[in-house]
Amino acid sequence: MLLRRDGDGVLAIGQPAHAWVSGQLARAWGNERFGAVEPREEVCLAAEQHDAGMAAWETRPTLNPETGLPRSFMELGLDEHLEIWRSAAPLVTAQSPYAALLVSMHGTALYERRDLARLAPPDVERVQAFLAGQRALQQELIRALDADPEHVRRNQRLIWTWDSLSLGLLLDWEPFELTAVPTADGEVDIAVADGTLDPWPFRERTLTVRCDGRRLAGPYAGEEAMRAALAASPWETVERGLAQR
């Protein structure tokens, strides 16, 4: 769950809703400089479904007792987070094994960035076991699909880019930078500020993305009170417009 500060409260945006924004970005992506998305439908599906493992958690979110609000995606415990990412690729496999491959790679990319030196030895073992299992799954899918590993890696970087851009837009991170973004013939860093991207990676000169969230007041004294408030809260649309300079 994303928690977007808004006035006196927060908008609670589900991870699948954020992933939908990633998918909207994916479907608009590509021009002469940035090249095409291939295979288009499978990669766009992976963008839209990269947080599929969070869907069940979103129906019964857990409480952060320090804030009295639902835990954000950055506040989940290790075991809870690992289980979410173990479930993600299998949930997508029935739709597309190629999309499931990219979802698995996105999960390992997240854990490859973790500083294992800050974890207790048993937690390090759990992370390493997760990574080993996901890498084995990825190799199996690459062989089954007869996929080009380098091209798959390029598409994984695109998923990472759209995920980061979606988070930045929904959580008002601007200005920020997207690094090592694949282009038609290499990589480039993209500066995001004031509703613009430089260089511009989309087909059209403008783009609007949107998703829905629920407004929470909080803090809440307990988990069931928080869940009840979330279920009763009205839906609100979050919309962001982007334009080429």
For 3-38, the pLDDT digits (tens) are 998 877 899 999 999 999 999 999 999 999 999 999
* 154: exposed, middle or buried (Cβ count in 10 Å: 0-12, 13-18, 19+): middle
Number of separate domains in the chain: 1
CB atoms within 10 A of CB 83: 16
pLDDT at 202: 98
Structure tokens at 234: 């009205």
**Sequence letter at residue 120:** A
Residue 79 in contact with residue 194, Cβ under 8 Å? no
152 Cβ partners below 8 Å, 6+ apart? 101, 102, 105, 142
Query: What pLDDT shows up at residue 155?
Result: 98
Instruction: Give me the pLDDT at residue 218, please.
Output: 78
pLDDT digits (tens, 9 = 90+) for 176-209: 999 999 999 999 999 999 999 999 999 999 999 9
d(CA 88, CA 11): 25
Q: What is the pLDDT of residue 7?
A: 79
How distant, in Å, are the alpha carbons of 41, 76, 175, 214 from that of 73? 27, 6, 21, 16
Domain of 112, in residue numbers = 2-243
Instruction: Show the low-confidence residues of the chain (pLDDT under 50).
Output: none
Residue 8: the pLDDT is 79
pLDDT of residue 67: 93
Give residue for tokens 């940035």: 34
